[in-house]
Chains A and B, each alone.
Chain A
Amino acid sequence: MNSTETKQSVAPATAPQDERIQRVSFWKKALNRPELGALAGAVLVLAFFIAASSGTGMFTPAGIINFLEVAAQLGIIATAAALLMIGGEFDLSIGSMIGLAGILIAIPAVEYGWPLWAAILLAFACAGLVGWINGNLVNKTGLPSFIVTLGFLFILRGLAIGTSRLLTGRTQVGGVQDHIPGDWFAALFSGEVATGLFSWMAANGWMATNFAGNPTVTGIPVSIVWWLGLTAVATWVLLCTPYGNWIFASGGDANAARNSGVPVHRVKISLFMFTAFSATIFACIQVMDTGSADTIRGLLKELEAIIAVVIGGALLTGGYGSAIGAALGALIFGMVQMGIFYTGVNTDWFQVFLGVMLLVAVLFNNYMRKKAMEAK
């Protein structure tokens, strides 16, 4: 009886207080979102290039598609790298996996007459195996994933070069484009979508056309669709599903997660497999786009992905980050890379900017995390 009375008397007293706190906590929440820094950065970079590149065509539809495509390709692997980093691990073998997957698609299709869909499935199967081995090695040995996947960075690159040279005598395989038409599976990774919409807009005069009367932008490249789709799915998984909670828990404190009944090993293996799959998606799109595979494709992509993820607000130590942040990181990356080209600055400076951006992002993230822990 007594307890119900105190409860009743407490309720009205806390109600007005709650309201005031609600308002504060809205800003707190906004500040505590990991992608805030990346959003601010993206807006800054956007504003800078809008001012700096006026009249260069960077912000014409064609220019926008250009830098979005650069961002999209990186964004595909950055999304997977973000989930893995939130899960507390790294994958340095992404770049080499891109090279290997390209070879695995091109050689069977071009040299052995496999249908393209079968070759792509082979690449995905091999990627799954690589991810599975990566994950199991990290789980079983307890070694840092940095070392394990550094090993695979070289193993996979060597395998790609070795296999290619052994089977074809070359390190480049061309002629894939002849196999694309009519292949339903390859169509998922090639071409553009919404082409009808763009020609319709051009026909109505809402879109610039070239001398032949075709729109300057014929459609949205499929890579951008993959990028947005993967980002949306990854965000949904992280924020709304039990599996997302397990990813945060595994990265935040694997031991605590295990004691609470989270299947940490399975989570990590699946995340490593997802990064390998994302590398394969990247490779598919690139091979379909260029019509060839090259063993050195994807060089340094693993580091670029990590940069995008860190700019996106993820902590290197795991347990904190977001897929939207990684997408924003990739967007910044794409804007800067193409923006430097459009504004006519020597592209050598791109890497300087990238490094500075990374350091600023890490410092900012560290500061924000401290703030988040203090917020009471």
Chain B
Amino acid sequence: MTTRTPMIEMRSVSKHFGSVIAISDISMQVYSGEVMCLLGDNGAGKSTLIKTLSGVHQPTHGEMLLDGKPARFKSPAYALDAGIATVFQDLAMVPLMSITRNFFMGREPTVGWGPLKRIDWKYADRVAKEEMAKIGIDVRDPSQPVGTLSGGERQCVAIARAVYFGAKVLILDEPTSALGVKQASVVLRYIAKARADGLAVIFITHNVHHAYPVADAFTLLSRGGSLGSFRKEEVSREEVLNMMAGGAELESLDAELAEFQRDDKAKKANLAGQDTQPADGTSSTEQPSPRAASGY
């Protein structure tokens, strides 16, 4: 394992926004054919990390290596050219445009030359249909607007597009967060397929139950720092969950919950005590009393 070069590697990368340290000293390696799950609570620095990976931000300190070579991306376009495709939460899809138009947005296949250069719609429609069929979505008409697809299908179009355009590293930002159980499983299956095709996948989520089945490794983020990377063999689901929420916080939460439960029990006992006294008919005579009190 250690002899392989990671497809993408971060070496103590930090990113500061003015005086705010968004992420600090993050190191991580992702290999081809593996899924790295990036876990962290809200505000842990997940978004900053993937924006740094995808070229939206440039790291303040540290370096990134792509296939063993140092890489620095001026903009998302450079990262895209280098083979790092990011599927952001907003999916970069235009609902009113057709599936084909969305699929090839910004990278339209053309035929002809000079002023007669035009989009090769036949080819584009066929590819869009085929790529969607590969992930098990039967698109009847690739010219139908993306807005008519379900959330999971849209997610799949976005991923299929990234894969089709030769991504080596696929970064997925919370691809399952807005989806129902069934649709999430479609996306997860597709992630597993991308891994089988030899892509390095970085899967950002805060749902351990989605992350655990498909992941090969986990990197846990908390308050801008890394809690470390773990191979799946090394940790259990519960441990991951525990670390993610911060063990201490969970313990204090447990304690608080126990407190509530005790309160609840006490209340119930109290109520039960009150209930038993008037239970034999007095309760029905008590009912009109609020009405009487309010002005009768």
Contact = CB atoms under 8 A, between A and B. Distances in A.
A373 B145 CA distance: 7
A261 B94 contact: no
B140 A21 contact: yes
B253 interface: no
B147 interface: yes
A242 B119 contact: yes
Interface in B134-168: 138, 140-141, 143-145, 147-148
A248 B97 contact: yes
A329 interface: no
B91 interface: yes
B105 A257 contact: yes
Interface residues of B, number: 32
Interface in A351-376: 369, 372-376
Contacts, number: 97
Contacts of A21: 140-141
A245 interface: yes
Contacts of A287: none
A1 interface: no
A236 to B, nearest CB: 8
A240 B141 CA distance: 18
Interface in B80-128: 80, 86, 88, 90-97, 101, 104-108, 110, 117-119, 121
Contact of A245 (B90, B93, B104, B144): B104
Interface residues of A, number: 33
A109 B76 CA distance: 50
Interface of A: 14, 18, 21, 25, 29, 32, 236, 240-242, 244-246, 248-249, 252-253, 255-257, 259-262, 315, 319-320, 369, 372-376
B77 interface: yes
A259 B97 contact: no
Contacts of A315: 96
Contacts of B93: 253, 256
B119 A241 contact: yes
Contacts of B86: 259
A369 B93 CA distance: 17
